Structure 1
Amino acid sequence: MGGISPEHPVSLVSGCGILSNLDPSRYEGFPVLISSGNEWMWPSAGADIHPPLQPDQAKSLLNNPPADWHRIQFPGFSAFPQADIFFIGLHGVGGEDGSLQRILEQRKQPFTGSGSVGSALAMDKISSKQLYTQHSIPTAKWVILEPNEYGEAGAAKIEKELGLPCVVKHPTGGSSIGVAVVRDGESLRKAVRELGKDAPHLLAEVFVKGREATCGVLEGLAQPLPPTEIRPKQDAFFSYEAKYQPGRTEEITPAEFPAEVIAEIQRLARKSHEALQLSVYSRTDFIWSPSVGSGTDGLFALETNNLPGFTPMSILPQQAAKAGINYSDLLTRIIEESLKH
């Protein structure tokens, strides 16, 4: 938990939630804390660290680890945590992009969730869009900008091919970090400049006005989980602030959509999971715009999360609860399903 991405604080909450809710009759867990500088820290055998662990305690341990803890700078491992399986509670770059999964695969260490290939595909929004299209999964029209287009020419290209408003995205940003909804030429040029500072490519897509939804897939179940409708109260979309600041979003599970739309969201969520070569669990975000077409014609896949937020109050655990699976049982299901891969 933790990690090098801007989602470090969210990961601490997810990791502590996971550690504190493992079934004690089946599992004995311990934290592997990863600093923003990619230093790994974990308790030595016999160290006095037992769940539950709170996020502020995890932060304190990262800042001042006990003397008897292991401390290793990634990736020069002179030691490595010993576990039957690693439950990955990381989000964003360094955890969700396949790099950690690749190392664990090389070391033949079991871990939860998707492998390195699927994780890399899902993290890259451009690869995801391409695979959506190849597998006939509806998604909003898009264009890609190369680094030499991060200026007036790129902004003009976007406006010509997509029109305004549109959405500009860093292709590997998570939790809606690196996303800008732009409605005029000046905002578009600014977004291209700012988001292009550290991006190998930029993705721009048509802004589809509609109702946002998200749907989890949990392998081993007959069908995907009940979708959630997301209603941001202050934001133009489900932004980072809307995700994690209390009171900025209303989350309704199950979503109050027509039955045929619910069924199509679930079908496309599973199809996205499979198209991106994901394993065990994922969550795909959608926008439904009835004005685009009748029935399910206005449904578009936005992106798929291979490591969605995993606090007890996160969306995927909420959906599992509606399906009759409590948080602790959900963790057990993910561990057991991951051990099959």
Structure 2
Amino acid sequence: MTQTAKRAARYGRVAVLMGGWSDEREISLGSGQAVLQALLRQGVDATPIDLTVERARSLDLLGYDRAFIALHGTGGEDGTIQGCLDIAGVPYTGSGVLGSALGMDKLACKRLWGGTNLPSAPYRLLSADSDPEAVADALGLPLIVKPSRGGSSLGLSRVQSTVELQAAYDEARRHPGAVFAEQWIVGREFTVAIVANEPLPVIQIETPGNFYDYHAKYEADTTRYRCPPPLDSAALIELQTLALSAFAAIDGDGWGRVDLLQDVHGENYLIEVNTVPGMTDHSLVPKAAAQAGIGFDELCLRILDTSFRAEGAD
């Protein structure tokens, strides 16, 4: 038996969970299919499972040795499926229930990071009767309004005047979780992918739009990715170290991605953690892995390796 075949056999039968019922369903299907094909190319006994609500209610993973979670958003990235897999005794990739639930909630992350002296932008929780003038006085203009549990930048709005705040709030309310406004940080955006709890090369994201929204992430061909960015080694290490600290603070494990902003003075701010990042041809984790000399198939195997942690294996 070749080394490749031995490695594939070690995983046993793998369920690739994809789809789900969140706003990110179509992205998840793309991620899941890409992962599935990579695993099959490497000889892994992998089977796709399109996890609709109906199928989740009667999910039976008897006969599967582990699960590769390629589910994004509500139900797949928030600790729900992780809890189901824990009960079923099926090891899975990535963070557990706590890390997944915290990572999914941007507001919970900000509060936790604030308690551990990790930097994120100032914010204000919004409600239907929030005073726009008070919010603007506290954070300045422009500012950004976000749903705390939305993914793929869905529901985000850049607000340039107080009269726009209500519409931005209403848009964010269409997505899960509380709504908050955050100070607009003028500067550069970076992302740090983490695999096997180690950072991959930093990527700088440059988009001609106002911010890195859904269109810039998945549809536009004008978004530019610089890897490595034009920063010295100390600045790159600082970004990676901050990302690892943020990931560990929320009990993240295995693999994920941390997004950050750097202002014009060189100060870094945490944006969010993704505990199940995208794995499509537009996704950032594969881009960072490629810069590190790790091909897509090998990346998927390394992510699948994180499922052995639940079994206490190396």
What's the secondary structure of 1:302's corresponding residue? strand
2:193/2:258 contact within 8 Å kept: yes
Identity %: 33
In structure 2, which of residues 91, 94, 117 is the aligned counterpart of residue 110 of structure 1? 91
Q: Do structure 1's residue 5 and structure 2's residue 39 form an aligned pair?
A: no
State how far apart, in whole Å, the 2-side matches of 1:113 and 1:120 are.
12
User: In the TM superposition, what whole-angstrom CA distance separates every residue of 1:52-101 from its partner, at most 9, and x where no partner exists?
Assistant: xxxxxxxxxxxxxxxxxxxxxx3244x44631111011111111111111
- What's the offset of the Cα at 1:133? 1.4
- Matched residue, 2:135: 158
Matched, 1:210 2:207: no
* CA positional deviation for 1:257: 2.3
The structural deviation recorded for 1:338 is 2.1
* CA shift for structure 1 position 22: 1.1
- Are the equivalent residues in 1 in contact too, given 2:243–2:258 (CA < 8 A)? yes
Alignment of 1:252-291 (within 5 A): 252-290=226-264
Q: What letter matches 2:34 in structure 1? A: G
TM-score under structure 1 normalisation? 0.81
C-alpha displacement of 1:311: 2.1
Higher strand share: 2
Of 256, 270, 293, which residue of structure 2 is paired with 1:324? Answer: 293
Q: Does 1:229 align with 2:224?
A: no
Number of equivalences: 293
Tell me by how many angstroms 1:159 deviates.
Answer: 1.6
Which stretches in structure 1 are left out of the alignment for 5+ residues? 41-73
What's the C-alpha RMSD, in Å, of the aligned pairs? 1.8
Which SS does the other structure have where 2:194 is aligned?
strand
Q: Is the 8 A contact 2:189 2:262 kept in 1?
A: yes
- Deviating above 4 A after TM superposition, structure 1's stretches of 4 or more consecutive aligned residues are 23-26, 197-200
Change (3 A) 1:178 1:25: closer
Q: How does 1:74-223 map to 2 (within 5 A)?
A: 74-77=56-59, 79-80=60-61, 82-145=63-126, 149-151=127-129, 153-197=130-174, 200-219=177-196, 221=198
Distance 2:140 2:62 in 1: 51
Matches of 2:64 and 2:222, distance apart in 1: 39
Contact 1:166 1:204 in 2 (8 A): yes
* 1:217 positional shift: 1.4
Of Structure 1 and Structure 2, which has the larger fraction of its residues in helix?
2
